[in-house]
Amino acid sequence: MARARERTAGEERSEGELIDRLVSVNRVAKVVKGGRRFGFSALVVVGDGKGRVGYGSGKAREVPEAVRKATEQAKRSMIRVPLRQGRTLHHDVKGKFGAGSVILRAAPPGTGIIAGGPMRAVFEALGVSDVVAKSLGSNNPHNMVKATFAALAQVCSPRQVAAKRGKKVSDIVGRREAGEARPD
């Protein structure tokens, strides 16, 4: 009988075009009349590396089953995030969930992913290669991932902003002439 190989937190696997990252595994206990029943909960981030990402959590008596459940939930909850030049965010954004809050900043080429554990997994699955992120408050992986997703849900491309306002992209981006002063 072939036993499923258990993955450690932070390990990555690619299924076809999807990248899934195991963010955390936690042992949980249910107290019953005869004592404690132990199980496992898993937090997984899934992305295609091209602007789509989702997260999921699953619980089961065995680690591989918990990871499978979390991966299925993550695939169902994927969101699309517009990326600038396919490598970074369009603008700086803040996100909050529970006691955890995050600040995500767009970065110039060559910066890399400057972010802590759970946020790094989200950016790698998303396909972002240049970003600076800071987490404030809770460092609980669930809160950090959910706060990161709350921030990513607010990211808009100039094309989306132009469509909402009924203008052209050039009006939104505002190409300036050489002698024109910046309106602050």
CB-count burial class (<10 Å; 0-12, 13-18, 19+) for 73: middle
Q: Name the pairing type of β-strands 18-32 and 35-47.
A: antiparallel
pLDDT at 2: 40
Q: What is the pLDDT along the chain (184 residues), one digit of tens a residue?
A: 343 444 555 555 555 588 889 999 999 999 999 899 999 999 999 998 888 899 999 999 999 999 999 999 999 999 988 888 888 888 899 999 989 899 999 888 888 899 888 999 999 998 888 999 999 998 899 999 999 999 999 888 888 888 888 888 888 777 655 555 555 5
Number of neighbouring beta carbons within 10 Å of residue 121: 31
Topology alike, domains 12-79 and 81-168:
no
Q: Which fold would CATH assign to domain 12-79?
A: Double Stranded RNA Binding Domain (3.30.160)
- Each domain of the chain, given as residue ranges in start order, spans 12-79, 81-168
171: how many CB neighbours lie within 10 A of its CB? 13
**Gap between the Cα atoms of 38 and 18, Å rounded:** 31
- Predicted TM-score (pTM) above 0.95: no
pLDDT at 149: 92
Q: Give the largest CA-CA distance in the chain.
A: 79
Both tokens assigned to 150: 């709350």
Give the per-residue pLDDT at 15. 54
Q: Which of 105, 95, 103, 104 is nearest to 147 (CA)?
A: 95
Confidence (pLDDT) at 10: 54
Q: DSSP code of 68? A: H
| The CATH classification of domain 81-168, taken from the options 3.30.230.10, 3.90.190.20, 3.40.50.1100, 2.60.120.10 | 3.30.230.10
Q: How far does CA 68 lie from the centroid of its chain? A: 18
What was the pLDDT predicted at 24?
92
The pLDDT assigned to 146 comes to 93
The pLDDT score that the predictor gives to residue 51 is 86
